[in-house]
Amino acid sequence: MYCNFLYQLSHYEYIRGNTTIADKVYSLNKMLHGVDLFYEISLPKHWSCEHPVGTVMGRAKYGDYFFFYQGCTVGGSWHREKLYYPTIGKGVMMYSDSKVLGNSHIGDHVILSANAYVINEDIPNNCTVFGQSPHLTVKKRLIE
Amino acid sequence: MDISEILIHQLETLFLLTPQEREQLQGDLKPLKEKRLRH
């Protein structure tokens, strides 16, 4: 998957101090796929996406086996003059146009449904999230 | 043409790589020449 490869390469070049190359590879990824995966963010070892046009992955702590679709946003948000970033657990799936912002803690194996908007909320493990903060609908899934 | 050559070609066309950057990238992408990248 070329999008994944270009992010890994830009992140690798950034870690090695080659920021001009990292910048060019990052821009190429943005031009080709319409996805903003900045080289300074640390995506997990295993992650994937499907037609990720319009997705912006910002600073956050990402758990392994992360997956996202188009139009998703993860990023910081100001609260009482302090900038907070989300924490995302293992095996989280973000469906189209879902957003996770600010001081949010997303548990393991959470599914964020299409258009879900989570800001400054804690979501427990194994849940599916619908709607918008502060009126989220959180449904527990039974895991066999 | 393998994936590293395609990538360098794209970067040169769009962002004008310097000779040093090209050399750096070629070195970093060398392991890919032995491994085929699957789609």
Distance from CA of A91 to the nearest CA of B (A): 22
* A residues 22..41 contacting B (CB < 8 A): 24-25, 27-28, 31-32
Instruction: Note the pTM of the prediction, 2 decimals.
Output: 0.90
A24/B21 Cβ within 8 A: yes
HSE, CB side, 13 Å, CA atoms: give it for residue A17.
Answer: 0
Residues A80-92 have pLDDT tens digits of 899 999 999 999 9
CATH code of domain A41-140: 2.160.10.10
Residues A81-129 have pLDDT tens digits of 999 999 999 999 999 999 999 999 999 999 999 999 999 999 999 999 9
* Domain boundary assignment for chain B: 3-34
- Contact of B12 with chain A, judged by CB distance below 8 Å, is answered with no
Burial of A45 (0-12, 13-18, 19+ CB in 10 A): exposed
**DSSP 8-state symbol, A75:** E
B21/A20 Cβ within 8 A: yes
A20/B25 Cβ within 8 A: no
pLDDT at position B38 over 70:
no
Residues A3-62 have pLDDT tens digits of 999 999 999 999 999 999 999 999 999 999 999 999 999 999 999 999 999 999 999 999
